[in-house]
Amino acid sequence: MEPRSSIIIVSYNNREDITRCLESVRGTACPAYEVIVVDNASTDGSADAVAAGFPEATTVRSSANLGFGGGCNLGATRARGEFLVFLNPDTVVEQGWLSALVNALDANSRVGLVTSKILMLGEPERINTCGNTVHLSGLTLCRGLGASSRSYQKEEEVDAVSGAAFAIRRDVFQSLGGFDESMFLYMEDTDLSLRARLAGWESLFAPQSIVYHDYSLKVFPLKVFYQERNRYLMLLKNFRWATLVALVPVLLMAEAITWGFVLLYDRRNIWNKLKAYQWTVRNWGAIMNKRQRTQASRKTGDRDLLRRTSFRLDLGLARQGLTARIAQSLLDPVFFLLRAVTMAVVRW
């Protein structure tokens, strides 16, 4: 039987995580699927452990660490399924998770991507994310982070899927050129979702697809660089120039906020914030080539992209305390007004 779904998991030195993940996938009661594990040049024996313990899975060994997007794209080249299902190695799936994703795609031909209800592995009564919320500035946040697992019970359209667990039609993935491999890490899921929406596809949240994620808010030296660089890249690829001009006040506010966060709480990353600007300037030609390809797939206007963005930037997800609460109370009305003005201007 040919698989309808190809589950693709990219692993990098995740031997314990990937073993636990595959054990849960193995117990999934869903017909016609295949599992493809891409090992991104791990040094902890992950690939050998997968090959020995899970012979039913296809193990693809990369000679270099391609990052999340590159690893996913490599796995997709080996996939035979109608649907590509991307899953983080540090997840555990619940019975019916895959069927819920596939059923949502089968039920609506306009839906191109479907994301799971992702709960905290260590605190299963709490939500990690129910799809992602995209701010007007391109900053992306986990939708529902920390909320009760009993909330978010409605199937609904979302701004973007979460790369931790989602499904996409293979023909849509191929038409979009897959993930942007130059991003390497962070924001690839948001970028893919925006490009899909630009091409006329919807992203959906399927609450019956339950996945547990070993999530924690990790900070490592290059995180600021990847997140900021990839945000600039995403915005430059997806929006018309006139829209970017209309967004200048919003983008300047976002720069002030990110700089404020770095200067107040994470001064070690000052250079990485500057490095994001440097990379963007040095790679301007390549970015414009990506922009040209992205714009060529356009079937909808920027107004539709902006319609799916939020004015609220939940600072509490990144930092708790009185300063964050005060900043939140000041920023919410400003961004609300800026979003209203931007939507009034952008009619294309």
- For residue 330, the model assigns a pLDDT of 86
CA atoms within 13 A on the CB side of 101: 37
Nearest to 224 by CA among 265, 191, 195, 192: 265
**What percentage of the chain exceeds 90 in pLDDT?**
83
> What's the rounded mean pLDDT across residues 320-342?
85
Backbone angles phi, psi at 299, to 5 degrees: -130, 0
The residue whose two tokens read 């039987």 is 1
Question: How do residues 41-92 score in pLDDT, each as one tens digit?
Answer: 999 999 999 999 999 999 999 999 999 999 999 999 999 999 999 999 999 9
Structural contact between residues 160 and 214, judged by C-beta atoms closer than 8 angstroms: no
Give CA separation, 35 vs 3, 54, 302, in Å.
10, 10, 36
Asked whether 262 and 270 are in contact (CB, 8 A), the reply is yes
Q: Give the closest residue to 257 by CA, choosing from 333, 331, 334.
A: 331
106 vs 316: CA distance, rounded Å: 37
Cβ atoms of 102 and 26 closer than 8 Å:
no
Looking at the predicted structure, is the pLDDT value of residue 2 above 90? no
E strand or H helix that includes residue 85: strand 83-87
In this prediction, residues 2-30 reach a mean pLDDT of 92
Q: What is the dihedral of CA 334, 130, 273, 195, to 10 degrees?
A: -90
- What is the per-residue pLDDT for 295? 96
* Summary mean pLDDT of the chain: 93
Distance CA 28, CA 183 (A): 32
Predicted confidence at residue 44, as pLDDT, reads 94
**Most distant pair of Cα atoms in the chain: their distance:** 59
The pLDDT assigned to 260 comes to 85
Instruction: Report the amino acid identity of residue 89.
Output: P
- What residue spans define the domains of the chain? 5-213, 223-345
Q: Is the pLDDT of residue 318 over 90?
A: no
- Which pTM does this prediction carry? 0.94
**Fold designation for 5-213:** Spore Coat Polysaccharide Biosynthesis Protein SpsA; Chain A (3.90.550)
The pLDDT of 251-271, averaged and rounded, is 87
Q: What digits encode the pLDDT tens for the residues 116-131? A: 999 999 999 999 999 9
Query: Amino acid letter at 17?
Result: D
With a cut of 60, say whether residue 219 has pLDDT above it. no
Residues 6+ apart with CB under 8 A from 43: 13
**Mean pLDDT for the stretch of residues 245-259:** 94
At residue 320, the pLDDT reads: 62
Is the pLDDT at 27 greater than 90? The verdict is no
Q: What is the pLDDT of residue 319?
A: 61
Distance of CA 213 to the CA centre of its chain: 14
Let me know: does 317 contact 232? Beta carbons within 8 Å. Answer: no
- Segment 208-214 mean pLDDT: 97
Q: What is the rounded distance in angstroms from the CA atom of residue 69 to the CA atom of residue 163? A: 10
At 217, is the pLDDT very low, low, confident or very high (cuts 50, 70, 90)?
Answer: low
Determine the number of helices (DSSP H) and then strands (DSSP E) in the chain: 13, 12
pLDDT of residue 269: 82
* Residue-level pLDDT at 62: 96
pLDDT at 103 (0 to 100): 96
